[in-house]
Structure 1
């Protein structure tokens, strides 16, 4: 009994250190990094071809797989029985995640039809909502339902504020950190907090797919040249990003609740 109480205090102390460290890192980054404004070339992509009267055709078309995956995932999540979701808090998080993915299809297509500062918000906001809900779902699974739901509402508020800050101050630091932190935190927390479900390796694969998509976006023009102007890195980024919810959907289908016992490193994966 004493050992169990001691372990609970250790876990709570570990949680406080993690959240405190994350907050301090965020404050430090905002203090030491200079303002990052939108580049004049931010809205100029490698492939801006026009097919059948649709501007930036491939960038627009490659946005619609998000709609298919998002709508299908949202329906299966709300309907229940197909995805292995055992906690009510998880339903909220996953439903919002798939809703954000579906919204990203419309926001991305709308933005790429005429890329400019006034439209980019509709491209970034659905993605921020998807990030918020996905990270909170991970916290519900690994840390606890109560703290996960608290993080969900807090992250949604931060997402809206970050988007508003980007628009009013022309500073994309909060937006960049909002995307970067989950990519670091999810793999790190995977090895710190034991999973409640099997097939948790899909979290790492999804994080890897997201990182790969960022490299494709960074090498937009180089990829476009390398494949002889067939498809650009930005269009490939869209297709690679779709793999993230697909991998997580496969995880939700196949995972099962783990028995409550001390796990090994192999169980963490």
Structure 2
């Protein structure tokens, strides 16, 4: 797409989708945390530790996060945009934090412990979105938006948590942080050229994350069907597998 008019329309498509979602969400009533959110299907204990399988299935997050950080520290180990190296660090730090924060949450499920699960998750969401923006749309735009988006992500979690403390929690902004990038990323992948090879692995990442959300919704039915593992535990494994696919892409891809 070399035509300036087409380039302009391409950018405006992203702006229009974003504004439509933001305005639409702001017109919704406040969305509090569901009362039964912390009641997961599989609460079995092992060695006196409750929710043991939900805890153990978070370990892959931390392993992938640490591996990503270690490889980023080695020169030429990963093929990344140098200008956005901080975003890759933030992503893998967030993923490592998701594992630790989720372990903490599942050891004693409550809104207070969930805060430490969602904070690193919001960092991972926003940094990954900036990586996609930089690799497909504009490095300059991604760099300028990176820290504002990270602050919005963390702020959305704190806004929800503080609201819950006062009896009127609101997940609308956190929902935007999580789902608006999921809506925009496939559009970006379709209408912008990639700066690296193996771009198809982003679709694998996207598919595994979508599968993780299905597992999360079907937590109890999956546990009733399988008996040995719940949908929530499978959610952890699917999402961590998506992160591992992304890391493998960074190792093997080449710049165009």
The yes-or-no answer on 1:44 pairing with 2:43 is no
Q: Distance in 2 between matches of 1:138 and 1:54?
A: 39
Corresponding residue for 1:107? 101
Verify the 8 A CA contact 1:78 1:91 in the aligned structure 2. Answer: no
Residue in 2 aligned with 1:119? 113
- 2-side partners of 1:88 and 1:39: how far apart? 42
* Unaligned residue ranges in structure 1 (runs of 5+): 259-269
Asked whether the 8 Å contact 2:40–2:232 carries over to 1, the reply is: yes
Given that 1:89 and 1:148 are in contact with CA atoms closer than 8 Å, whether structure 2 keeps it comes out as no
Contact 1:49–1:55 at 8 Å: present in 2 too?
yes
Residue number in structure 1 paired with 2:19: 23
Q: For the residues of structure 1 that align with 2:173 and 2:186, how far apart are their CA atoms? A: 21
The 5-angstrom pairing of residues 247-262 of structure 1 reads 247-258=245-256
Runs of 4+ in 1 over 3 A off after TM superposition: 7-10
Contact between 1:78 and 1:95, CA under 8 Å: does it hold in 2?
no
Match status 1:67 vs 2:62: yes
Indicate the SS of the match to 1:118.
helix
TM-score normalised according to structure 1 size:
0.89
Q: CA deviation at 1:151?
A: 2.0
Query: What 5-or-longer segments of structure 2 have no aligned partner?
Result: 164-168
Which has the larger Rg? 1
1:124 CA displacement: 0.5
> What TM-score does the superposition give when structure 2 sets the normalisation length?
0.93
Query: Matched residues in 2 for 1:38 and 1:234: separation?
Result: 17
Q: Which residue of 2 aligns with 1:98?
A: 92
- Higher relative CO (Cα under 8 Å, sequence separation at least 6) belongs to 2
Number of residue pairs matched? 251
Structure 2 CA distance for aligned equivalents of residues 14 and 141 of structure 1: 15
